[in-house]
Amino acid sequence: MDLNLAGRSVLVTGSSKGIGLGIARRFAAEGCTLWLAARSAERLEAAAAAIRQASPVEVRTLAVDLAEPEARARLVEACPGVDILVNNAGAIPGGAIEEVDDRAWRTAWDLKVFGYIDLARAYLARMKARRRGVIVNVIGLAGERVDFNYVAGSMGNASLMAMTRALGGTSPDFGVRVVGVNPGPVDTDRIVYLAKKRAASQFGDESRWREAFAKMPFGRPATVDEVAAAVVFLASDLSAYTSGTIVTIDGGMANRAQLA
């Protein structure tokens, strides 16, 4: 299906691996010009090279730590006129309120919560001036299925859901759309690491990590491409009447009374 995205410019943060890289690959396959931003210059260049090999598009990279306000400002200055912003950078540590110390909490929110806010603010202003553009916030299931043992992530994600709905409810007045995606568990290096950690704790054997997936919907986590495809569709003209909406991709997990 042609999503009519060819020639548009897209900035994807946190795009050197995982969901961000999957999103970048999908946009490249649609013929978009890409800006990739993440901390590791080496990983970014490897990601860009792989994308260029698969799709004949222009890919530029910028290695920045988006937890720092100055780095966010540099990113906006380097690529001021993108058509589509995908906020994706950030991971918030797990733990109950007494287990996440002040420094870890603030560092995680500086990257994901305030990083998303600052970039949305900067690019929304530019998109409003041009009367076109799309912002997609990749958030996370914990914002709607809050978890005592993931309190910093639950609170951070809930705030980003509120921002997405608040901005997206009014942004069509200026020709701009703001939408969100809430992935549940996704088959990335991070979930494998967490599954191994859980298996070591429960069974004393991290090699049993795949058993953690057995009770998930469909017996598995989502694939990166399942999330990436939704992001690209939401950014496309086929979803031109969608704003202020958050699509949850969790196999129905958020609506289960209990995870068996």
Give residue-wise pLDDT tens across range 163-187: 999 999 999 999 999 999 999 999 9
Q: Quick one: average pLDDT of 239-256?
A: 96
Q: Does position 210 have pLDDT exceeding 90, yes or no?
A: no
Q: Quick one: average pLDDT of 13-32?
A: 97
pLDDT of residue 258: 62
Cα within 13 Å of Cα(68), Cβ side: 9
Q: Are strands 33-38 and 59-63 parallel, antiparallel or unpaired?
A: parallel
Please tell me the pTM assigned to this model: 0.94
Give residue-wise pLDDT tens across range 46-70: 999 999 999 999 999 999 999 999 9
What are the structure tokens assigned to 129, written together?
A: 């001036």
The average confidence (pLDDT) of the chain is 94
Q: Does position 197 have pLDDT exceeding 80, yes or no?
A: no
Q: Quick one: average pLDDT of 6-24?
A: 97
Give residue-wise pLDDT tens across range 137-161: 999 999 999 999 899 999 999 999 9
Q: Residue for token digits 């890289």?
A: 21
Work out whether the CA dihedral 117, 243, 37, 58 comes out positive or negative. negative
Question: Which domains, ranges and CATH numbers included, belong to the chain?
Answer: 9-182+223-249 (3.40.50.720), 187-221 (no CATH)
pLDDT of residue 260: 44
Q: Quick one: average pLDDT of 88-97?
A: 92
* Per-residue pLDDT band at 211 (split at 50, 70, 90): confident
Min mean pLDDT across 104-113, 162-171, 194-203 is at: 194-203
The proportion of the chain whose per-residue pLDDT surpasses 90, expressed as a percent, equals 83
pLDDT of residue 195: 79
* Per-residue pLDDT band at 256 (split at 50, 70, 90): confident
Residues with catalytic roles: 150
Look at residues 10, 104, 19, 20 and name the one whose alpha carbon lies nearest to residue 59: 10
CA distance 20 to 54: 16
* Per-residue pLDDT band at 189 (split at 50, 70, 90): confident
Look at residues 48, 116, 123 and name the one whose alpha carbon lies nearest to residue 88: 116
Q: Quick one: average pLDDT of 62-88?
A: 97
Give residue-wise pLDDT tens across range 215-227: 899 999 999 999 9
Q: Which residues of 90-119 are buried (b: 16+ CB within 10 A; e: fewer)?
A: bebebbeeeebeeeebeebbbbbbbbbbbb
